[in-house]
Structure 1
Amino acid sequence: MNQELGIIRTILMKSYDGLPYHLKSCFLYLSIFPEDYSISPRRLVHRWNAEGYSSEVRSKSMGEVVDSYFMELIDRSMILPVKEPRGSRKGISSCKLNDLMREISISKAMEENLCFRMEERCSLNNQGAVRHLAVSSNWAGDQSEFESMVDLSRVRSLTVFGKWKAFYISDKMMLLRVLDLESTSGLVDHHLEKIGKLLHLRYLSLRGCEGIFHLPDSLGNLKQLQTLDITRTRIIKLPQAIIKLSKLQHVRAGGPYHILSSSGGSYDEILLKLSDSNKLSMWMWTATLMDFCFSICGRKFLEEIRG
């Protein structure tokens, strides 16, 4: 059996070696996620875009380019799609890596100093500078361990799985582009106070963080922010500072708690201001919000509503 697995692994390695450079980067990025983790395609491609894995090609936008990368990895059987007939991206609701592919992704990502995964019994990182830091749900270290294991000043993405610790956002993370806290437990408003210092941040996900009621005014400092996901949080108001985010392209909101207004003005006013420089994509799925969206969908700033 081990010999058979060895043969299969050799074949899969050849598949990896045959990937063009841009697809290798996208594939190795999947080493961030835990075993058997269902990855949302939209989450993945927005993160790739924030990382700079794409550029505009002829008539295609950067978003369309990373979409094509995702589909090409599917077509090459490097990642496994979970398909649903409706309500998902191109009929694909999520994707996964099989065990051998994940093993290859992790080993190659470590070889290239791309990703360090803090998890139970992990040792001090000797890889040098790493771009992507993932904190597993079973990691129980303290602040001194966290700051000594990797050079935080070089980290481009931070993904937290499981329970939040206040020291995860560090002043040293000056190059951070992606902060993905989806479904992180224990995260509350005051933990976001330092977020305005992450001046290169392009992707912020607080999805499923039900301890979050407000976004800080310092959000307005994030001039590079492209994607904001506050789905299934308790946020009911957006700060007025959001109108400063001229590069914001994707806002995802909804869930059991309705977004009703902005503390600095009506949604109509604030999103119209955003529209002056943005192509804004909005995704909202509560009935109240959908009524709101349809009532203003003729406005030029609401160019697409996806659900």
Structure 2
Amino acid sequence: MGAESSGVFSYHKEDELVGIEGDKNLLMGWLMNEEQRQTVVSVVGMGGSGKTTLVARTFKDEIVKRHFECYAWITVSQSYVIEDLLRRLIKEFHKAKKEEVPADMNAMSYNELLEILVNYLETKRYLVVLDDVWDVHLWDKIRFSFPDKQLGSRVMLTTRREDIASSSFGVESHVHKIQPLERGDAWELFSMKAFSSYPNKSCSTEKLVEKCEGLPLAIVALSGLMSSKKSLTEWSTIYNSLNWHLTNNPLLEPMKSILLFSFNDLPYRLKQCFLYCSLFPEDHVIVNHRLITLWIAEGFVEHVEGLTPEKVANSYLMELIFRNMLQQRFRGPLVACKMHDLLREIALSIAKKEKFCAVHDGSETVEETGALRLSIQTTNGEIGSCTGISRLRSFLVFATGVSSFSFSNKLPFDLKLLKVLDLEDVPLDCLPDNLTSLFNLKYLNLSGTPITELPESIGKLRNLQALNIR
């Protein structure tokens, strides 16, 4: 039987949590309830959401310490050796009770270490914390170390992956999902770090806090950066050049590293799919079906015997959501997803460096960048001149708040290699004349445009696999 809950918490100075008594009490309740069978308690959330801090506060509580006869905390991380984890568990259990650690453990085999641990634990009520779990198979490898003699023992784990948190552990289990900070709590945390007293909120500081989307790690990092800036002009400059600061400012490096862990752990195909999401505007809710079709047209989706490309692509999307890299949303009745603003900024900086994609606002001249994918996000219905981007594979246009849009009858550049042309919701009067020269085009999205009929020449697009006109 599993139970699930959601927690919201706020902070005070020195990053200590306040206002989390409800969350902490919930965890303590699961740790110390009447259930005598071994129980696993998972705390899940994206990188920097405060999982480890909350679990540490619970683990260190004197009432919890008195309830268990022995306890150990180990950090697992992305790469681990199971024998090393067992050695560290044995050391932690012995050190916590000020007992002598067994000698010559480094020379011991897996079976010898397992025997020591099982013999030590089988008559005790124990508490174990497995912090920062990435491997879905870890529990199967380590569970035999934790005997269940119906003494009320508990195992807690923290993870960024929802598929791990909701695994079938074969024992009693509970899931606690960390939620973002509420707006008021986020502003309070930011203010305490960035200012010595509460200032009048400026537009740029409010926007900066909003960009953190309630992620404590990001709020603390950005407020630290802002603490040395005294004028509204400086705050505004930071907001407008945030992508540069994420790439170059050493003050933001620790936060960036923590968020990059999740990206670096992705398989290659999922990295491509994730970076592709950064082509959509900030806060854009992306309908899953649209995203999946784009990935397929781009060739990101591998062929799997017995499965349609759509099913494989959907499994990629679910994996990114399980890993808390994308957030599940709805757009009306349609299942959709969204990218966290700061993850998007980091994705854009990676994508730019790798020439994977680029985003422009339409007013600037787009010159040779080597990027294979381009997103124009215009608010005035125009696209500046584009030169030297004939290698482009994907071209997406987002026209926000404009009533008309024109390519001046022609696409603004030679796009012989283009596979994807996405003009959804763009108020186009007619299709550009040279559209039919795009003989590599696989996906054409005209959904939400005023276009009511297609020219017969559309039949020349022999490689077109998906045409969306609804």
| TM-score after normalising by structure 2 | 0.43
Structure showing greater radius of gyration is 2
- Equivalent residue, structure 2, for 1:228: 467
1:197 alignment partner AA: S
Asked if 1:146 is matched to 2:388, the reply is no
- Equivalent residue, structure 2, for 1:300: none
- Equivalent residue, structure 2, for 1:195: 435
Asked if 1:158 is matched to 2:158, the reply is no
Q: Describe the SS at the equivalent of 1:208.
A: coil
Among residues 257, 260, 275, which one is paired with 1:13 in the alignment?
260
Q: Describe the SS at the equivalent of 2:386.
A: helix
Partner deviation per Cα, 1:161-202 (whole Å, 9 max, x = no partner): 1153325624610011111000002x123x343221111111
2:442 alignment partner AA: R
Q: Which runs of 5+ in 2 are unaligned?
A: 1-192, 194-218, 223-251
- Equivalent residue, structure 1, for 2:291: 44
Map residues 122-271 of structure 1 onto 2, 5 A cutoff: 122=364, 125=367, 127=369, 129-138=370-379, 145-148=384-387, 151-162=388-399, 164-167=405-408, 169-170=411-412, 172-185=414-427, 187-189=428-430, 191-210=431-450, 212-231=451-470
Note the aligned Cα RMSD (angstroms): 2.3
Given that residues 304 and 312 in structure 2 are in contact (C-alpha distance below 8 angstroms), is that contact kept between their aligned partners in structure 1? yes
1:135 alignment partner AA: I
Given that residues 176 and 198 in structure 1 are in contact (C-alpha distance below 8 angstroms), is that contact kept between their aligned partners in structure 2? yes
- Displacement of 1:100 in angstroms is 1.2
> Structure 1 vs Structure 2: percent identity of aligned residues?
35
Q: Distance in 2 between matches of 1:159 and 1:196?
A: 17
- Displacement of 1:217 in angstroms is 0.7
- Equivalent residue, structure 1, for 2:310: 63
Q: Distance in 1 between matches of 2:318 and 2:376?
A: 28
Q: Distance in 2 between matches of 1:139 and 1:113?
A: 27
Among residues 94, 98, 101, which one is paired with 2:340 in the alignment?
98
Given that residues 119 and 139 in structure 1 are in contact (C-alpha distance below 8 angstroms), is that contact kept between their aligned partners in structure 2? no
Given that residues 193 and 216 in structure 1 are in contact (C-alpha distance below 8 angstroms), is that contact kept between their aligned partners in structure 2? no
- Displacement of 1:43 in angstroms is 0.4
Q: Describe the SS at the equivalent of 2:378.
A: coil
Q: Structure 1 121/83 Cα, relative in aligned 2: closer, same or farther at 3 Å?
A: closer
Q: Distance in 1 between matches of 2:386 and 2:330?
A: 40
Partner deviation per Cα, 1:102-136 (whole Å, 9 max, x = no partner): 11111111011111212167575463x21111111
Q: Distance in 2 between matches of 1:141 and 1:227?
A: 26
Tell me which of the two structures has the higher relative contact order, counting C-alpha pairs closer than 8 angstroms and 6 or more residues apart.
Answer: 2
| TM-score after normalising by structure 1 | 0.65
1:228 alignment partner AA: L
1:154 alignment partner AA: R
- Displacement of 1:32 in angstroms is 0.6
1:205 alignment partner AA: N
